[in-house]
């Protein structure tokens, strides 16, 4: 990846020096030591690394609010407020009285935006070149971007580096977003955005209140650290109100407005994430499995996402929803605490740079999980191979997978899969039916490609789970082929999955007028089936057995 023209190497040097000198669970030192340049001061927060608490727990920077011009917060104890690298004195404020932070003279950063259409391993140059050639055949110029980092936790070294296959390279986010929409509609690729940072944003941050009459203005970044253990913050912005622990910093976001970032120990972060991913009433062992998956997802994203932002992850669905302390629940907290530091790794990588498992999961696999490369393309992960979600009845006639010959039988038989349960929504998602009218399909088809009135639909390929991964649509003026299950689900108005059989009702002229579906599952089906995991937990399987059922060839290691 092309790095910012600013002093990245110097920034990493300062980050390492700060980490070595740290004496408390702070991410940055409050000592000035001479004024740093804007690049040095801000680059500390963009570097794709993290620091640690005294107990060796990683600290994660989470963007909790952005695109605001002001924020107000209180705490239940005294606070230290400072700007790292600036020789002005540290403010000692009364956190029980409101503290206000605003931004002025904001200047937007400069970026280049790429639509990511795939990922390849850092050592898979042939696969990367093949992907670039495949997009060239479709009429798109693709560019590889190496992202990620080598980092260490608990004395073990990890490699999160990957190569992103990017299209575009726009100066405007809106232009890139329009391309992403076209790519998703046409090819069914679940895109993401890679933001290449060219110049940092900036602004002047003003702090007032906290029992102090005078205002203090600092350039670029303001850090807020509690003086006493266990303090929390309640933050209010025009976008909402939330409560957090850890520390805060305020900095200019991409548009030169105010970003509020929570520097929080990873275990606290996982406690805030898991309740948004699964029923809190689920069996405790399935909650533990979800906690391990969430922890690995966070660590695996270091240096891969949000490279244009001064944080490692956001608090939205894109990165796992995080609403702070208000979202925590006693049962999911227990699951996190009882799996503290446990992460899934590829077992084959433990002799070198350990690789964290990309812990994909979906709501209900419909009785059979799917190969990751058939869902998203890219590298075939050995731990994301499609397999029966067998719960005790055996695989029967479906041991070789679900195909065009046995899919109807599969969808009508009472398969004894873990996710075939009347609990946890399984009775609505394991098997389902839906009717879609032609107008819905035609409108979507017209957005993909103008081939005139729809005449027929042909299934060209199914994955090992029976999910349709390739389909041809014939129209009056030509045909179009859809790859990937997402494009197929969207064509028919948002089906729960592409594991289905379809009956077409036609008008007097032979054109389709209605599609009736019988299907199974909810979601892409790769990785852990959340409904199945909850049922396994109900049947007294522990979280390690649950994870080993859905992710083959993994090792569960405790890092801290």
| Average pLDDT score, the chain | 88
- What's the pLDDT score for residue 14? 35
Q: Range of 442's domain?
A: 359-560
| 351, part of any domain | no
Q: So what's the pLDDT on residue 30?
A: 38
Task: Tell me the whole-structure pTM to 2 decimals.
Answer: 0.88
Task: Give the tens place of pLDDT for each residue, 257-306.
Answer: 999 999 999 999 999 999 999 999 999 999 999 999 999 988 888 778 88
* Residue 20 clears pLDDT 60, i.e. is over it: no
Number of domains in the chain: 3
Model pLDDT for residues 178-211, shown as the tens digit of each residue: 999 999 888 878 899 999 999 999 999 999 999 9
The pLDDT assigned to 319 comes to 79
Question: 372 and 228: one domain?
Answer: no
Separation between Cα atoms, residue 11 and residue 220, nearest integer Å: 15
- Give the pLDDT confidence score for residue 366 in this predicted structure: 97
Give Cβ neighbours of residue 472 (< 8 Å, ≥ 6 apart). 457, 458, 460, 479, 480, 481, 482
Tell whether 352 is covered by a domain.
Answer: no
- Tens-place pLDDT, residues 26-76: 344 334 344 555 567 677 788 777 678 888 889 999 999 999 999 999 999
Do the domain assignments include residue 337? no
Burial letters 471-493, b for 16+ CB under 10 A, else e: bebebeeeebebbbbbbbbbbbb
Q: Is residue 492 part of a domain?
A: yes
Residues 38 and 172 in one domain: no
Q: Which of 157, 177, 199 is the last residue of a domain?
A: 199
Per-residue confidence band for 394, with pLDDT thresholds at 50, 70 and 90: low
Spatial contact of 135 and 117, defined as CB atoms under 8 Å apart: yes
**Same-domain pairing of 363 and 462:** yes
* Amino acid 391: pLDDT: 67
- Specify whether 103 is located in the same domain as 115: no
Do both 118 and 104 map to the same domain? no
Question: 216 and 139, same structural domain?
Answer: no
Q: Are residues 86 and 131 in the same domain?
A: no
pLDDT digits 0-9 by tens, 493-549: 999 999 999 999 999 999 999 999 999 999 999 999 999 999 999 999 999 999 999
Note whether 40 and 96 are same-domain residues. Answer: yes
pLDDT at position 9: 32
CATH number of domain containing 115: 3.30.70.1070
Q: What angle do the packed helices 266-273 and 330-337 form, to 10 degrees?
A: 140
301 and 433 inside one domain: no
């Amino acid at each position: 990846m092309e790095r910012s023209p600013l002093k990245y190497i110097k920034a990493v040097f300062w980050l390492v020096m700060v980490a070595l000198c740290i004496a408390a669970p702070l991410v940055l030192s409050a000592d000035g030591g001479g004024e740093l340049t804007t690049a040095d001061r801000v680059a500390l927060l963009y570097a794709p690394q993290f620091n640690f608490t005294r107990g060796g727990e990683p600290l994660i920077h989470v963007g909790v609010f952005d695109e605001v011009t002001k924020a107000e917060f209180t705490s239940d104890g005294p606070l230290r407020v400072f700007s790292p690298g600036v020789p002005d004195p540290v403010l000692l404020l009364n956190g029980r009285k409101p503290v206000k932070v605003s931004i002025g003279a904001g200047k937007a950063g400069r970026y280049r935006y790429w639509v990511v259409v795939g990922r390849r391993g850092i050592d898979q140059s042939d696969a990367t070149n093949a992907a670039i050639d495949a997009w060239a055949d479709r009429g798109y110029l693709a560019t590889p971007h190496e992202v990620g980092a080598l980092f260490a936790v608990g004395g073990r070294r990890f490699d999160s580096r990957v190569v992103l296959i990017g299209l575009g390279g726009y100066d405007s986010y809106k232009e890139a977003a329009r391309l992403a929409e076209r790519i998703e509609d046409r090819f069914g690729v679940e895109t993401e955005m890679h933001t290449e940072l060219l110049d940092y944003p900036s602004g002047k941050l003003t702090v007032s209140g906290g029992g102090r009459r005078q205002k203090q203005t600092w350039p670029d970044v303001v850090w807020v650290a509690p003086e006493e253990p266990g303090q929390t913050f309640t933050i209010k912005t025009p976008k909402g109100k939330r409560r957090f622990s850890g520390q805060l910093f305020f900095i200019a976001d991409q548009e030169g407005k105010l970003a509020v970032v929570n520097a929080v120990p990873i275990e606290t972060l996982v406690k805030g994430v898991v309740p948004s991913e699964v029923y809190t009433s689920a069996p405790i062992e399935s909650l533990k499995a979800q906690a391990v998956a969430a922890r690995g997802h966070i660590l695996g994203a270091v240096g891969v996402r949000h490279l244009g932002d001064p944080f490692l992850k956001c608090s939205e669905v894109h990165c796992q929803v995080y609403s702070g302390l208000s979202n925590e629940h006693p049962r999911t907290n227990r699951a996190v605490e009882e799996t503290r530091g446990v992460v899934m790794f590829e077992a084959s990588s433990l002799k070198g740079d350990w690789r964290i498992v990309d812990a994909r999961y979906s709501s209900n696999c419909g009785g059979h999980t799917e190969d990751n490369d058939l869902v998203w393309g890219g590298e075939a992960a050995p731990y994301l191979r499609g397999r029966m979600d067998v719960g005790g009845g055996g695989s029967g006639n479906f041991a070789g997978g679900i195909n065009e010959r046995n899919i109807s039988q599969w969808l009508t038989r009472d398969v004894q899969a873990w996710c075939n349960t009347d609990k946890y929504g399984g009775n609505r998602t394991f098997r389902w039916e839906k009717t879609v009218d032609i107008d819905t399909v035609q409108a979507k088809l017209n957005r993909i490609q103008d081939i005139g009135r729809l005449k027929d639909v042909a299934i060209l390929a199914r994955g090992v789970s029976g999910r349709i991964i390739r389909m041809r649509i014939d129209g009056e003026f030509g045909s179009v082929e859809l790859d990937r299950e997402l494009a197929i689900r969207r064509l028919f108005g948002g089906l729960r999955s592409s594991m289905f059989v379809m009956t077409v009702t036609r008008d007097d002229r032979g054109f389709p007028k209605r599609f009736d579906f019988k299907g199974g599952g909810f979601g892409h089906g790769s990785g852990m089936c959340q409904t199945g995991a909850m049922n396994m937990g109900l049947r007294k399987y522990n979280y390690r057995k649950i994870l080993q059922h859905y992710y083959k060839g993994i090792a569960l290691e405790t890092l801290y």
